[in-house]
Structure 1
Amino acid sequence: MFEFFTDRARHAVVQSQDEAIALGHDFIGTEHLLLGLVGTDQSTAGDVLREQGVELTRAREETVRILEAAGIAATGGQPAKDALSSLGIDVEEIQRQADNNFGPGAFQYPRPAYTPDAKKALEQTLSEAQALGKDRFGTEHILLGMLAAGEGRGLDVLAALEVDADALREAVLARVTGDAS
Structure 2
Amino acid sequence: MFEYFTDRARHALVLSQDEALTLGHDFIGTEHLLLGLIGSDQSTAGDVLRERGVELTRAREEMVRLLEAAGVAATGGQPAKDALSSLGIDVEEVKHQADNTFGAGAFQYPRPAYTEDAKKALEQTLTEARALGRERFGTEHILLGMLSSGQGRGLEVLAACEVDAGGLREAVLARVARDAS
- Shorter-chain TM-score: which interval? over 0.9
How far apart are 1:96 and its partner, in Å?
Answer: 1.1
CA distance in 1, matches of 2:7, 2:121: 19
2:123 is aligned to 123
> 5+ unaligned residues in a row in structure 1: which ranges?
none
* Alignment TM-score, normalising by the size of structure 1: 0.97
- Counterpart check, 1:66 vs 2:66: yes
Residue of structure 2 in register with 1:76 after alignment: 76
Specify the alignment match of 2:106 in structure 1: 106
Correspondence list, 1:1-181, <5 A: 1-178=1-178
Q: Which amino acid aligns with 1:67?
A: L
How big is the shift at 1:106?
1.1
CA drift of 1:99 comes to 1.4
Q: Give 1:101 deviation, angstroms.
A: 1.8
Whichever residue aligns with residue 84 of structure 1, its letter is L
Q: TM-score, normalised by structure 2?
A: 0.97
How far apart are residue 97 of structure 1 and its match?
Answer: 1.3
CA RMSD across the alignment: 0.8
Structure 2 stretches of 5 or more lacking a match? Answer: none
**1:38 CA drift (Å):** 0.5
Q: Distance in 1 between matches of 2:177 and 2:68?
A: 38
Rounded to whole Å, the distance in 2 between the matches of 1:99 and 1:53 is 39
- CA deviation digits over 1:28-87, x for unaligned, max 9? 000000000001100000000000111111111111110000000000000000000000
| Deviation by residue 1:78-113 (Cα, 9 ceiling, x = unmatched) | 000000000000000111111122222111101001
Which amino acid is 1:101 matched to? T
CA distance in 2, matches of 1:65, 1:96: 33
User: Hey, what's the Cα distance between the residues in 2 that align with 1:69 and 1:167?
Assistant: 27
Q: Percent identity?
A: 83
User: Secondary structure of 1:178's partner?
Assistant: helix
For residue 24 of structure 1, what is the amino acid of its counterpart? G
Number of residue pairs aligned between Structure 1 and Structure 2: 179
1:18 partner letter: D
> Matches of 1:154 and 1:107 in 2, distance apart?
28
